[in-house]
């Protein structure tokens, strides 16, 4: 069946009008979008761009504040008798002790510069302890004033005040390490041996909070070691 020609032309005209209207609407949308983009400041960024480029906030969980950080371990040989590396330009000549040093190592100033009577007592005790398979390691002995000053400054920085630092590190003016009258020993079996036999050689632990710190008390061979101070701040020698 054939459609009349007039009907076909009418349909064609309606189709063309609809297409023209659609094209006009699309063009209007595109023009509006282009105008909006042209008016946007060149330095502006979308919120997504800002989020990607902005640094994390200091209070974010990935950046804990200093108050949330765990406290650092104590510093220096006065804090556990552990040997320390040379620092601040100081080395063995100032009393810094390498690993593995014993009371028989005369080439190491920290040992060689100890008081002669103290060193003699240490060597006699170490010889006897060797029979029990115990060795005395020197973690700190004689120290230069510069080294002691450094340890004191580190302790003040660590503990936050001169008063608190004094519980662990003496000044260069009062330290028995600077005068060669004290030694810090390890490991724990050496200090355990000395707690049982040290008095026989006049070797006494002086401070209860420093089980590694030993000094010579010759009268201890007859009378036993004197009562320990709880910490160095109770020692009258530290009050000078």
pLDDT tens-digit readout, 203-224: 999 999 999 999 999 999 999 9
Q: Determine if the pTM surpasses 0.85.
A: no
Instruction: Kindly state the helix (H) or strand (E) to which residue 162 belongs, with its residue range.
Output: helix 162-165
pLDDT at 113 over 50: yes
User: What number of helices (H) and strands (E) belong to the chain?
Assistant: 8, 4
Tell which residue, 215, 201, 221, has the closest CA to residue 128: 201
Q: Count CB neighbours of 198 within 10 A.
A: 23
Q: Could you read off the pLDDT of 114-151 as tens digits, one per residue?
A: 999 999 999 999 999 999 999 999 999 999 999 999 99
Our CA angle for 180, 181, 185, nearest 5°, is 95
Q: What is the mean pLDDT of residues 10-25?
A: 53
pLDDT at 171 over 70: yes
Query: Which has more pLDDT, 5 or 125?
Result: 125
List the structure tokens of 121: 């007592």
Q: What's the pLDDT score for residue 239?
A: 85
Q: What's the pLDDT score for residue 25?
A: 56
pLDDT at 6 over 50: no
Q: What's the pLDDT score for residue 3?
A: 45
What is the band of 105 on the pLDDT scale with cuts at 50, 70, 90? very high
Q: What's the pLDDT score for residue 89?
A: 84
Q: What's the pLDDT score for residue 75?
A: 36
Q: What's the pLDDT score for residue 235?
A: 96
The C-alpha atoms of residue 8 and residue 10 are separated, in whole angstroms, by 5
- 3-state secondary structure at position 166: coil
pLDDT at 43 over 80: no
Query: Which has more pLDDT, 70 or 88?
Result: 88
List the structure tokens of 73: 């371990």
């Amino acid at each position: 069946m054939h459609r009349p020609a007039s009907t076909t032309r009418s349909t064609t005209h309606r189709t063309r009008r609809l297409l023209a209207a659609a094209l006009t609407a699309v063009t209007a949308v595109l023009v509006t979008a282009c105008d909006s983009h042209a008016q946007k400041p060149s330095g502006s960024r979308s919120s997504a761009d800002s989020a990607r480029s902005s640094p994390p906030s200091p209070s974010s969980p990935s950046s804990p504040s200093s108050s949330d950080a765990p406290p650092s371990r104590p510093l220096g040989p006065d804090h556990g008798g552990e040997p320390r590396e040379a620092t601040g330009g100081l080395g063995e000549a100032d009393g810094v002790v390498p690993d593995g040093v014993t009371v028989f190592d005369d080439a190491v100033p920290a040992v060689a510069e100890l008081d002669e009577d103290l060193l003699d007592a240490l060597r006699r005790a170490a010889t006897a302890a060797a029979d029990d398979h115990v060795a005395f390691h020197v973690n700190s002995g004689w120290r230069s004033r510069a080294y002691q000053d450094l340890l004191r400054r580190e302790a003040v920085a660590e503990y936050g005040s001169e008063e608190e630092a004094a519980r662990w590190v003496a000044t260069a003016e009062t330290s028995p390490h600077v005068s060669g009258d004290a030694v810090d020993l390890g490991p724990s079996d050496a200090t355990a041996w000395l707690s049982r036999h040290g008095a026989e050689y006049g070797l006494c632990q002086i401070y209860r909070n420093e089980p590694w710190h030993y000094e010579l008390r010759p009268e201890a061979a007859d009378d036993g070691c004197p009562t320990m101070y709880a910490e160095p701040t109770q020692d009258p020698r530290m009050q000078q």
